[in-house]
Amino acid sequence: MRIIKHILLLFLGLHLWAGVQYRILVVKSDYPDLQAFQTHILQFLDASAFKYDVLEPGEDFSYSTLVSGKNLNYTSVILLRRASELYPQEKSALEKASSKGVSLIGFVDIAGESPFYRELFGIKEIGGWEEAENIRIKSGLGFLTHEIEGEKLRPSLIREIRLEKTCRIIAASGASIPAVSACPYSKGINYLFNLDRNSLSWWYSEWGKSDKDPRLVLLRRAIIENSGLGFVYYDLSHTVILRIDDFLQNRHTWEDPVYPQYPLVTHRMDEEYLKEIGDVFQKHNAHVTFLVVPGFVDPGPEKGVLLVNGHSPSLRQCGTVYDVKDVVFKVTSGWNAGDTYNYPPEYRGIVELLHRGLVDVQEHGFTHINWKKNEWCASPNRATNPFPWEREFVDLVDHDPVPEYVQEDILYQGFTRLKDWFGHEPLALIPPGHAHDETTLEVAHRFGIKLFSVDWLGIWKDWGYDKNQQIKSLFINYMNWAPPPSLLWHIAASPHLVYFHDWDLILGGPDWLDELLTQWEETLKVKHYISLAEFAGYYFSQIEASREGNRFTVTVDISNTGGPHNLPQDRFFSSHSLILKIHLPENLWRSNLYFRGFYQAVSNSPSVKRVYLKDGEMVVEFKPFGKASRKTAEITFTEGRR
C-alpha cells in the first residue's frame, strides 16, 4: 500500500509540473486598512528578489490571466482583496485555477467569514480569540525552515479556527490552534496565515521587535513550495550586502577631532595592502561595494603641502577641488602634523581589485564636504563631530536647503569621475552620512540611479524609490556601532546590509577583516557576501522559466541591471556567473528517494557553466553574459539509479 501511495505521489508530481511559469501574482485591495500591509508584502517580495506581477485595486482578472490552456501562468497568487471586492467570474477563476495547481496564499483577517474563502482555504469554523503564549513551528518542514525549527513566534491573540482534516498544520499555538496551514484544493495547495487578532498591522510593525520572528520565512516557504510545483529564484538567504565607505576621502587632511575615541588615521592604503584585503574577499568568495570620494578639497597652504601629479599648484587657494587620485598631501599643522596622505597608490589598488572582479565602485557624492566652500575655509572650527561639514546633500551648518542645481552638480561630478576612472557607471548613490532630502531623491531618480542606499534601501521604480525602511529583513547595520543582530531569520528572508569605513580597514587590517567575516559565517551562518551591483543584478533581471514534462527552459535577461545607460560592462553578470535555484517538488523528490534512486540534471546549452542537484533543489550556473543581455538554458531532468 505504501509503495502504491508513493507511485501516486510521483505521478501527481510529474503531472503538476507540465507547463508552469514561475511567477507570483499579487491581487491588491482597495480597502484603506489594507494599504500598509500590502506595501509590506510587496517590500518583502522586493527584498527577496522574487519575480511578481501586481493587479492594482479595481483591475479585473479572469481564468485566462492565471491559466492558459495547459500552462499555469503563475505558481502562486497572494490574495489581498476581500471576497466582497471580487466579481463572480473572478471567484470562479480562482477556484478553477487552484484546482489546476495554482497555489493561493491568504490571511484570516482578509478571508473573514466569507464562505468562498473558507472553502478555498479549508476553514470549517472561525471562532473568537485566544491568548497564545507561543506559536511553535512544526518540525520536519524541509530545507527552507531548518534554521527556525523550534523557534516560537511571540505571544499574541490568535483567531480560533478549525480546519478540514486534509489540511496540514505548519505552525500552531500551544493549544493547537492553527497559525499557518496548507490545505489541498484538488491539485492546488492553498496556504492560510492566522497569526494575530490584528495580524495585518501587527505583521508590519510588531514583528520587527523580535529578531527571531520567522513569519516571513514561512511566507517565503509557501511561495517556494506552492502546490509542490517548486520555484525558480535567486537565493538571497543567509546573504549580507557588504558596503565599505569613504575610500580616497581626505577628511584627515583638515579635520579637528574632538572626541578621543574618534579613529585617527595617519596614512592611506597602498596597492599591496589592498591586495591583501582582496585576498580576504577572495577567500570568502565575497563581492564588495566600495564607496569612493573622488574630489579632494584643498584645506589651504597653512594646513600642509599639496602635490598634484607630483607638482605643487602654482596658486594655492583653500576650497579648490582636485581629482584625489592625483593628490599627495603632507600635513604641516594640527594633530597629525608630519603625516603624509598618498592617494594614487590607493586608487591603483582599487582599480586592481575591480579588475579581479572582487569589488564594484558606487557613488558617495563628490567631495564629502559642505558645498559652501568659502564658509568651510573661513571656519575657525572644522570639528568632525557631529559632522557639520561632512555632508553634501544636506547643510548641517546653516540648515539651508541645498539647491537642486547644486545637488545635480554634486551627483554629476562624482558620477562622471567614477565612470572615467573605473570604466563603469555607478548604479547606486549613498549620500555622505546618509543625509538627504526629497530633492536628493528626485535628482538621483531622474539621473537613473537604481539603488539609493541610506538607512533604508531605495529601489528604482517608475514613480520613484521604493523605500524598504519598514522591512527589517533588509536591515542596515553599522559594524562598529554594535555587532549585527541575530541574523537567524533576517537572512532567511532577504539580504542584510552591513557597512563600515575605510578607517576600519586601515586600523584593523586584513587579519581583522578575515576574523570578522569568519565570525559572521560561524555564528550567524552567513553564506554569501554580495555587493550592491550584484543585488541590482538579481533584482532588476527578468526570469522566464517553464517546464514541459522533464525539460526545463530558463531564460534570464540582464539588460536592465547596469548603470543609467545599461551598458554591458556595467552589468554585474556580464563578468560574473549567475546562479539560479529551482526548488523541486517535495513529493516528487521524496518519492524518488523512497525507491533509492537519484536525479540527474543535464544541460547541453552553451550558456550553462554547470547544473547540479542538492538538497531538493536544482542549481543552474550561467556563464558570464559578456556583451549579451539574454541567455537561455535548457535542462533535462531525469531519474537514474544508484
* Within a domain: 585: yes
Output the CA–CA distances (angstroms, integers) from residue 354 to 275, 324, 351, 570, in the order listed: 11, 18, 5, 12
Residue 226 confidence (pLDDT) = 87
579 or 159, higher pLDDT: 579
- pLDDT, mean over the chain: 84
Residue 61 shares a structural domain with residue 195: yes
CB distance 167 to 194 below 8 Å: no
Residue 84 confidence (pLDDT) = 93
Determine phi and psi for 6, rounding to 5 degrees. -70, -35
From CA 221, how far away is CA 76, in angstroms rounded? 12
Would you give the end-to-end CA distance of the chain in angstroms?
24
Condensed to tens digits (0 to 9), the pLDDT of residues 562-575 reads 999 999 999 999 99
Residue 224 shares a structural domain with residue 362: no
Output the CA–CA distances (angstroms, integers) from residue 567 to 108, 426, 626, 629, in the order listed: 46, 11, 11, 10
Determine phi and psi for 564, rounding to 5 degrees. -55, -30
Q: Which amino acid does the sequence have at 615? A: D
Condensed to tens digits (0 to 9), the pLDDT of residues 597-637 reads 556 788 989 999 999 887 778 899 999 999 999 999 998 87
CB distance 262 to 509 below 8 Å: no
Residue 550 shares a structural domain with residue 456: no
* Within a domain: 508: yes
DSSP string, 196-210: -TTHHHHHHHTGGG-
Residue 585 confidence (pLDDT) = 66
Question: Which region holds residue 285: left if phi is over 0, alpha if psi is between -120 and 50, else beta?
Answer: left
Cβ neighbours around 430 below 10 Å, total = 22
Question: Which domain covers residue 121, as residue numbers?
Answer: 23-229
Residues 6+ apart with CB under 8 A from 166: 122, 183, 184
Nearest CA among 33, 75, 31, 23 for reference residue 54 = 23
Angle of helix 344-355 versus helix 404-422 axis, rounded to 10: 70
Q: Which amino acid does the sequence have at 176? A: S
* Last residue in a domain, options 526, 552, 587: 526
The dihedral built from the CA positions of residue 407, 409, 410 and 415, taken in this order, carries a sign that is positive
Region 104-121 average pLDDT = 90
CB distance 440 to 414 below 8 Å: no
CA dihedral 554, 555, 560, 565 (to 10 degrees): 150
Report field, pTM of the whole predicted structure over 0.85: yes
Q: Is 503 helix (H, G, I), strand (E, B) or coil?
A: helix
CB distance 600 to 640 below 8 Å: yes
Residue 210 shares a structural domain with residue 79: yes
CB distance 29 to 80 below 8 Å: yes
* Within a domain: 1: no
* Within a domain: 307: no
From CA 339, how far away is CA 342, in angstroms rounded? 10
Residue 36 confidence (pLDDT) = 77
The dihedral built from the CA positions of residue 496, 500, 502 and 504, taken in this order, carries a sign that is negative
From CA 546, how far away is CA 554, in angstroms rounded? 7
Q: Is 183 helix (H, G, I), strand (E, B) or coil?
A: strand
DSSP string, 302-360: TTEEEEETTB--SS--TT-EEEGGGEEEEE-SSTTTT-EEE-HHHHHHHHHHHHTTSEE
* Last residue in a domain, options 526, 559, 579: 526
Residue 427 shares a structural domain with residue 281: yes
Condensed to tens digits (0 to 9), the pLDDT of residues 410-462 reads 999 999 999 999 999 999 999 999 999 999 999 999 999 999 999 888 999 88
* Within a domain: 325: no
What domain count does the chain have?
Answer: 3
Q: What angle do CA 506, 507, 510 make, to 5 degrees?
A: 65
Residue 179 confidence (pLDDT) = 85
* Within a domain: 425: yes
Residue 217 shares a structural domain with residue 255: no
Task: Give the CATH number, domain containing residue 86.
Answer: 3.40.50.880
From CA 330, how far away is CA 527, in angstroms rounded? 42
* Last residue in a domain, options 199, 229, 259: 229
Give the distance, in angstroms, between the CA of residue 81 and the centroid of all CA atoms in the same chain.
27
Output the CA–CA distances (angstroms, integers) from residue 553 to 226, 354, 548, in the order listed: 19, 33, 8
From CA 51, how far away is CA 232, in angstroms rounded? 9
Residue 204 confidence (pLDDT) = 44
